[in-house]
Amino acid sequence: MPPASAPLVTARGLARRYGPVHALRGLDLDLHPGDVLLLLGPNGAGKSTLLRSLAGLLRPQAGTVTVAGRTLSGDDPDARRPIGLLSHQSLLYDELTLLENLVLAGRLYDIPDPRARAEELLARQALLERKDDRPRQLSRGMQQRAAIARALVHDPRLLLLDEPFTGLDAVAGDRLRALLREHCTGERAMVVVTHHASEAWDLATRVGILTGGRWAYLEPRPADLGAFHQIYQELARG
């Protein structure tokens, strides 16, 4: 049965080429509040291009992306306000402390009391005692937690995650899953790009497989991960 709510994200006819390579070929996507889309595909399938297009970081050569009713374009900075991005890079400045990084992000998102918000998020990530440390002084897992805090500083309605489990150990991975489960409720939606479906399988409500810049599969999450692996292998082989 189709969801009753209006889509939070609507992408229509997204196309992007890099020279002769078609990264996206007229892709459509609707994401409703509460959706968690697990996005899979072989290398070069267009996953990161789609994610960056949904974030407004990449201008598609054709098509549009609408988030919370506003079309993404460089001319409308407020259209990007509901979007948060957690990538395999932390987006943190190495020469600023964790607190300074988060306060800066808070200022750019017009948070009324950015320092209080930064401290609250660092406390939730068990990093408050390290608030005066710089990112490079932290372990990979801690850096990822700091990056999560930065991504959530404005409480985004759409959270985009590009291989968020890369480099995390099992404990840090579990912690991230718990946090994402807690975050994605009610009015929010998430897209998780990963090479390993098992990493975010329990979080997902839908699963998409991209091959050659097109949807090879876009369905509600199947019950059985093992059976899905077989589908994935067949589709990824083309």
Partner 1 sequence: MGKGLRHALAIAGKDLRVELRTRTSLLSAAVFAVLVLMVFNFARDPTAVATVDLAPSVLWVTVAFASVLAMNRAFTVERENGAFDGLLLAPVSREMLYVGKYLANLAFVLVVEAITLPLFVLFFNVGLGSALPGLLATLLLATIGFVAVGTLFSAMVVKTRFAELMLPILLLPFMVPPLVFAVKTTVPLFAGRPLSEVVPGLRFLALYDVAFVTLSVLLFSAVVDE
Q: In terms of CB distance, is 158 or 216 closer to partner 1? A: 158
Which residue in this structure is represented by tokens 């372990």?
A: 139
Residue 56 interacts with partner 1 (CB under 8 A): yes or no: yes
The answer to whether residue 135 forms part of the interface with partner 1 (CB under 8 A) is: yes
Letters for 143-172 (x = contact with partner 1 by CB under 8 A, - = none) are -------x----------------------
- Of 59-98, binders to partner 1 (CB under 8 A) are 59, 74, 77-81, 83, 85, 87, 89-96
Strands 21-31 and 9-18: antiparallel
Q: Which of 3, 5, 110, 174 binds partner 1 (CB under 8 A)?
A: 110
Provide the minimum distance between the beta carbon of 154 and partner 1 in the complex, in angstroms, as a whole number: 8
Instruction: List contacts with partner 1 (CB under 8 A).
Output: 52, 55-59, 74, 77-81, 83, 85, 87, 89-96, 100, 104-105, 107-110, 135, 150
